[in-house]
Structure 1
Amino acid sequence: MSRSYLMLPRALTRLFHIAPVPGEPRRKEWGEVERCLGVGLPADYKELIHLYGGSNWDDYVYVLEPGCLNENYDLVEWAERQAEDLEDLWEFEKKPAELEAEGSRVIPWATTDNGECLYWLVRPGVEPDRWTVMVNEARGDRWEHFSVSCTDFLASALDGELQSDILSSLFPRAPHEFRQLTAV
């Protein structure tokens, strides 16, 4: 690893203690990814992908990666699919209050083995590094909002500091498990 873990943002340092960086950092061309999504992405997420890539945490949370080696977890494809699915869903269900403001939307950054989806809450005028996290249950209309970044959410969920009523009660595991996603 080219950077000392002491220089990483706090949440990434916490993740480093849970699962040391598995190998060489990954290089990404973020310009094309951000063009496809129509927005810039948070710096902490880019660093998470740089260090860990598409990954599975405690055999439950799958962090999406643009161009993921396991094509089932490609960030851009997930974003496109989820945007379509949610627009269809909101014809029948009420949008969460956080999404009522015009121009607000969600972009997925992780999913779970049960089908819950973890999103960034994207609001007009809010810079990507200030995006917060929303969690949607797999087969229902419950949503939770957490006023933290994606890496803060992941680190806090893994160390038990953050509790979700939607995510599995079996998460996190002890001891923690980590694996990079590979081609299928």
Structure 2
Amino acid sequence: MTASLEQLAHIIHPPAQPRGKDWDSAEQALGIQLPSDFKELIHTYGGSNWDDYLYVLEPGCPNDNYDLIEWEDQQAEALDGLWEFEKRPTELEDEGTRVIPWAATDNGECLYWLVRPGQHPDTWTIMVNEARGERWEHFSCTCTQFLVAALIGDLRSEILCSRFPLTVHEFRQLQAV
């Protein structure tokens, strides 16, 4: 277990039943290998809602609205169209660089991994895009490091809701609707 996932377990006790996942199928569907800390996060917490705001996406999520593979397809298409009208963030200007969603908010912000050619998934960093806007933020951390830092207040975003995190944390594992 990564150090950041251990920290997360101290903040929010994990559900009793870990979720098994066919990572080979998920990664094949996405065409990429996923970061090991994200796999541990999903195994431990599954697709989930944090502080009634941030939704961690899960491949094959029981709640279809938060399926990572569906989100990746939709976001890739949406961003391809967006780049025709808006300037790409500086971090995405290099050939072959892309973003892959791993979380979203109930306000419509999306959190992505910044994926650069030849870079190992465990070193991917985080990009946050505002809902219906051009602003992006870059954070030099993994997804679990981002989640922990956001929940304890060490990481502040100008894009994410100012009421996140809550004073008393809330957690909900996503289920079928």
Give the length in aligned residue pairs: 177
Partner of 1:19: 12
Q: For 1:108-127, what aligned pairs fall within 5 Å after superposition?
A: 108-127=101-120
Asked whether 1:139 is paired with 2:149, we answer: no
Give distance in 2, aligned partners of 1:62 and 1:159.
17
Which amino acid is 1:53 matched to? G
1:83 aligned partner, one-letter code: A
Residue equivalent to 2:156: 163
Q: CA deviation at 1:139?
A: 1.1
| 2:167 corresponds to 1:174 | yes
Alignment of 1:16-165 (within 5 A): 16-165=9-158
Could you list the runs of 5+ residues in structure 1 that have no partner in the other structure? 1-7
Quote the residue 1:4 is aligned against: none
Shift of 1:25: 1.2
3-state secondary structure, aligned to 2:103:
strand
RMSD (Å) for aligned C-alpha atoms: 0.6
Counterpart Cα distance in 1 of 2:51 and 2:11 = 10
- C-alpha separation between the residues in 1 aligned to 2:90 and 2:167? 35
TM-score, normalised with respect to structure 1: 0.95
Deviation at 1:62, TM superposition (A): 0.1
Higher mean alpha-carbon deviation, 65-74 vs 16-25, is at 16-25
Distance (Å, rounded) in 2 between the aligned partners of 1:106 and 1:123? 9
Which residue identity lines up with residue 59 of structure 2 in the other structure? P
Q: How many Å separate the matches in 1 of 2:29 and 2:117? A: 18
AA at the equivalent of 1:30: W
TM-score (norm 2): 0.99
